[in-house]
Structure 1
């Protein structure tokens, strides 16, 4: 299956937090979008790997994804090395996306930055014909996406581009709330974490409002890029 957009996320719920509005918007436009999670989030204080699996499935239904996979890398201990790069390359070549979205290159969570670098490196290497990978026993063709952007979770990162997600903000919140063990739920008895307080949801909404205001919209999602971005016309900008 060829995808238009392939989203990589180191933890189940990272894509929902960082770019689910953008995912929803492009699916509504008829684009095919998939997510590849790197880990099952097994080191998370709240919930288990099994509950995260179920929550990711529920969120995927809300998003309307074409596919969602989990590479089952070790949460907290995966590396940006040959072994992991080849696994990511295999996913890129399997789905041949035009656009890749991934974790930020720098973040308060060390897994996020490491995952961002891993995807960035793998996206380049995936275009080299002398790197051989196999999928279901068949040799894969080289493939390099046209664009690789990083979604934002850390409030200190400034975006290079902002997408208007105003029409999809309510559903974005639904996808996040699908991860019941991770975020605020007064009926769930578990230790409180950085993301489980009711105030954390307010920061998500506030950040989306701030990004939206920057482009004359109500809500937005920000992305960074390692390369300069170009447009065909000044009239495509606001």
Structure 2
């Protein structure tokens, strides 16, 4: 059965950092993939037009079946009420009707990520969204690894996807977001992306992998 996949990316590039190889694998398997971008930079920002072009290019490279952008103010998501966030996200989820949803990790250090997780997870109740059958939280470099090192907040993956065949394309797509990557030891360096995928691959028994926290799966 063909899947309908929705990645909820708080910021453009989260989809690539957290599950870029997985999205490419879904597409290779003839699944539909849909991209919900939650935030945007101000139109008066000098990088605004460049970022819009980056999003367009990344959408083309993944061949997303649909792209949605809530255009919330980046780094200011906590200014919106929870009911506003839930209504906006719910509208997209009901339009796409995905059976697989990838969410930001609930313990990410960035407040935007935590707010969007909370709102998104509220939109997965089985009696309101019966089409959702699998929910995973993604691992986003520069956010997830800086979560507090407590058992309540630490990212402890329990699901791994072999992305060996798709890893190099993931790197090429990430390079489109020029302002978001830098040299090691910057967390979002190409070297660190490869290191994390290698570590997760070693756990999964393959060359490169992405890891997730599985919250729910209905079989």
* Structure-2 residue corresponding to 1:38: 38
Which blocks of at least 5 consecutive residues in structure 2 are unaligned?
146-153
> d(CA) in 2 for partners of 1:41 and 1:150?
24
1:64 aligns with 2:63: yes
Pick the aligned partner of 2:135 from 125, 148, 151.
148
The answer to whether the 8 Å contact 2:8/2:37 transfers is yes
* Structure-2 residue corresponding to 1:28: 28
- Structure number with greater Rg is 1
Taking structure 1 as the reference length, the TM-score comes to 0.77
Tell me the secondary structure at the aligned position of residue 20 of structure 2.
helix
* Structure-2 residue corresponding to 1:8: 8
> d(CA) in 2 for partners of 1:86 and 1:97?
17
> d(CA) in 2 for partners of 1:24 and 1:223?
16
Shift of 1:23: 0.2
* Structure-2 residue corresponding to 1:217: 206
Q: 1:15 to 1:69 in 2, by over 3 A?
A: same
Structure 1 outlier segments of 4+, above 6 Å: none
* Structure-1 residue corresponding to 2:53: 54
Q: Give matches, 1:1-238, under 5 Å.
A: 4-42=4-42, 48-78=47-77, 79=80, 81-124=82-125, 127-128=127-128, 143-153=130-140, 154-155=144-145, 157-184=155-182, 194=186, 200-227=189-216, 229=217
Tell me the secondary structure at the aligned position of residue 221 of structure 1.
strand
> d(CA) in 1 for partners of 2:51 and 2:65?
19
Q: 1:173 to 1:210 in 2, by over 3 A?
A: same
Q: 1:210 to 1:64 in 2, by over 3 A?
A: same
How many residues are treated as equivalent by the alignment? 203
Taking structure 2 as the reference length, the TM-score comes to 0.83
The answer to whether the 8 Å contact 1:51/1:181 transfers is no
Tell me the secondary structure at the aligned position of residue 72 of structure 1.
strand
> d(CA) in 2 for partners of 1:202 and 1:40?
27
> d(CA) in 2 for partners of 1:28 and 1:121?
30
Q: 1:47 to 1:117 in 2, by over 3 A?
A: farther
> d(CA) in 2 for partners of 1:23 and 1:84?
24
Which blocks of at least 5 consecutive residues in structure 1 are unaligned?
129-141, 186-192, 232-238
> d(CA) in 2 for partners of 1:50 and 1:99?
31
